[in-house]
Amino acid sequence: MNKPLRRIAIFCALLVLALLVRDNWVQYVQADSLNTNALNRRTGIERYSHPRGNIIVDGKPITGSVATSGTDFKYKRTYKDGAMWAPVTGFASQVYGANQLEQIDDGILSGNDDRLFFDRTMSMFTGKEKKGGNVVTTLNADAQKAAFEGLGKKKGAVAAIDPATGKILALASTPSYDPSTIAGSSDEKAWVGLDKKNNPDDPMLNRALRQTYPPGSTFKVVTAAAGLEHGMVTDVDKPTDSPLPYIMPGTTTELKNEGNLPCKNATLRKALEVSCNSVFGHLGEQLGKDKMLETAKKFGFNAEQFTPVRADASVFPEDPNASQTALSSIGQFDTRATPLQMAMVASAVANDGKLMKPYMVDELRAPNLDLISKTEPEELSRPLSQENAQKLQSIMETVVKQGTGTNAQIPGVTVGGKTGTAQHGENNDQNPYAWFISYAKTGSGSPVAVAVVVEDSDASRDDISGGGLAAPIATDVMKAVIDSEK
């Protein structure tokens, strides 16, 4: 009977061997795909098993973590002034994932990033609780507050940049939402309430980065830059060859000015000061679509910007006809821009023609505060020569000194700016958007460039103007930055 017994022994060995092989297959080969399976709750459990790192503004965290009970997830994200900072932080929810900075720097914040490997290994030996690293932003809390409070109940957005470095100083969007309300695991009601489908205000839309508006007259700064750069205009105080009335080419339509303005053959300075549609439309037409597009692209149009949060691409139409080029050159037709984009335009002018890449994450730090990475300012392009930039500064400053932008004056500070009131809707049937872009200059250069857009449907139509609605907000933001520099 021993021969079959030996065979049975082999059979039993094969059974065990099959299990060992299967074990290796599951726990070694398949382990990764099992761990990344969407149904695997361990990812979430691990992620929220320790306090998440913080997002820092001016040395103070604007986020936090609070211990919760009764669920698998031990810690929940909290936000200080959540509504104000939401366009910067995004949200981190136990159920709905994360977006914006919370998502982009999730590795650092959750402590899972490979760059934290050493840190993790150390705390394994020291027995410390795992913690996430911190994200230090470039934002300026005072500027952000000024922007957010300036927008108030109005719908709109503010973007402010440090022209010399590209650091984003303020990024506000209203109406906003408090990410704390959707951070937990039983916040479905709040989440549904924030959904665009149920909330016409679309509070989760980051208007500073993700909404493009027709920039209106603020785009004339770009057209002026194109005129200067391509030699169409050499002296901003020499009369241009601008007809009035200006009939757009190929049409019988007159490109009208807002009111009876002295725009016939006006100098570039005068044309910007009173915001002549005819002068800039004609200038754009003369430059042609290619030159206009070239300059617009140098300012950052037609490309997404990564701050590292993605900003939608602003648009200058690729192939307009001559009259469309004229319209596009005054920021109408298909021209669209994000507030960030227009702040970039102002910052490039203020920075003597050098456009710095906008960014909002200054440093990433390990839980023990070791520096993991620091963002170095990076030049994006040079839309203007230094000489032309200074010419443009000079006429933008005139706008604030005595033109449409007098609301933006700050005592003792040189301010350059441009208003905009962009038509909106079919046949201009909806309330226009009020725009203001500007920069401030102190003795040591320009610390801030800002763009404000207010899309206020409540104000009566005649009250809406860039100078009236948007410029005061921009002024407060500039003041806040200048004051905090002192």
Partner 1 sequence: MSVVTNTTTIGAIEAPSRRNTELALLAFAVAIAVFAYLNVGLALDGEVPAGVLGYALGLAALAGVAHLVVRKFARYADPLLLPLATLLNGIGLVLIWRLDQSQRLIDRAKNIYGAFSPSAPKQMLFSAIGVALFVGVLILLKDHRILQRYTYISMVVAMVLLILPVFFPAQFGARIWIRIPGVGSIQPGEFAKIIISIFFAGYLMVKRDALALASRRFMGLYLPRGRDLGPILVVWALSILILVFETDLGSSLLFFGVFVVMLYVATERTSWIVFGLLMSAVGAVSVASFEPHVEQRVQAWLHPFADKTLAQSDQIAQSLMSFGAGGTIGTGLGQGNSDLIGFAANADFILSTVGEELGLAGTMAILLLYGLIVERGVRTALAARDPFGKLLAIGLSGGFAIQVFVVTGGVMGLIPLTGMTMPFMAAGGSSVIANWGLIGILIRISDTARRPAPAPAPTSDAEMTQVVRP
Chain residues that interact with partner 1, rule: CB under 8 A: 1-9, 11-13, 15-16, 18-20, 22-24, 26-28, 30-35, 37, 39-42, 45, 72
Distance in angstroms (rounded) separating the CA atoms of residues 404 and 221:
14
> Shortest distance, CB of residue 32 to partner 1, whole angstroms?
8
What is the rounded distance in angstroms from the CA atom of residue 224 to the CA atom of residue 218?
Answer: 10
Separation CA 279–CA 262 (nearest Å): 10
Compute the least distance from the CB of residue 110 to partner 1, in Å.
17
Question: Are 297 and 380 contacting, i.e. CB atoms less than 8 angstroms apart?
Answer: no
Which of 44/61 has CB closer to partner 1? 44
Q: Which helix or strand (DSSP H or E) is residue 279 part of? A: helix 277-298
Cα–chain center distance at 263: 35
Ranges assigned E (strand) in 59-196: 60-61, 63-67, 75-79, 92-93, 97-98, 134-137, 156-161, 168-174
CB of 115 to partner 1, least distance (A): 22
C-beta closer to partner 1: residue 16 or 369: 16
CA atoms within 13 A on the CB side of 117: 2
User: Is 124 or 303 the residue whose CB approaches partner 1 more closely?
Assistant: 124
* Contact of 280 with 220, CB cutoff 8 Å: yes
Q: What length is written for the chain? A: 486
Minimum CB distance to partner 1, residue 303 (Å): 40
Cis ω on the peptide bond leading into residue 175 (within 30° of 0)? Answer: yes
For the bound state, the minimum distance from the C-beta of residue 2 to partner 1, rounded and expressed in Å, comes to 6
Q: How many CB atoms lie within 10 A of CB 162?
A: 25
What is the spatial distance between Cα 464 and Cα 271, in angstroms, rounded to a whole number? 21
| Helix, strand, or coil (residue 297) | helix
Nearest CA among 161, 156, 222, 189 for reference residue 344: 161
Taking the complex as a whole, how short is the minimal distance between the CB of residue 121 and partner 1, in angstroms?
15
Report how far apart the first and last C-alpha atoms of the chain are (Å, whole number): 98
Nearest residue (CB) to partner 1, 70 versus 411: 70
Alpha-carbon distance of 249 to 255, in angstroms, equals: 10
Q: Based on CB atoms, which residue is closest to partner 1, 2 or 252?
A: 2
Rounded (10°) CA dihedral 342, 345, 351, 353 = 170
Q: Which of 110, 180, 217, 314 is catalytic?
A: 217
- 217 is annotated as an active-site residue: yes
Residue whose tokens read 């350059």:
416
Q: Calculate ∠ Cα 327-329-330, nearest 5°.
A: 70
CB of 73 to partner 1, least distance (A): 12
Instruction: Rank residues 38 and 369 by Cβ distance to partner 1 and give the closer one.
Output: 38
CB of 45 to partner 1, least distance (A): 6
User: What SS3 state is found at 325?
Assistant: helix
Nearest residue to 237 (alpha-carbon basis) of 399, 128, 395: 395
Q: Rounded distance, CA 168 to CA 146, Å? A: 14
Q: CA 465, 474, 417, 478: dihedral to nearest 10 degrees?
A: 160
Which amino acid is located at 359 in the chain? Answer: Y
Of residues 40 and 402, the one with the C-beta less far from partner 1: 40
Q: Which CB, 41 or 461, lies closer to partner 1?
A: 41
Active site (catalytic) residues = 217
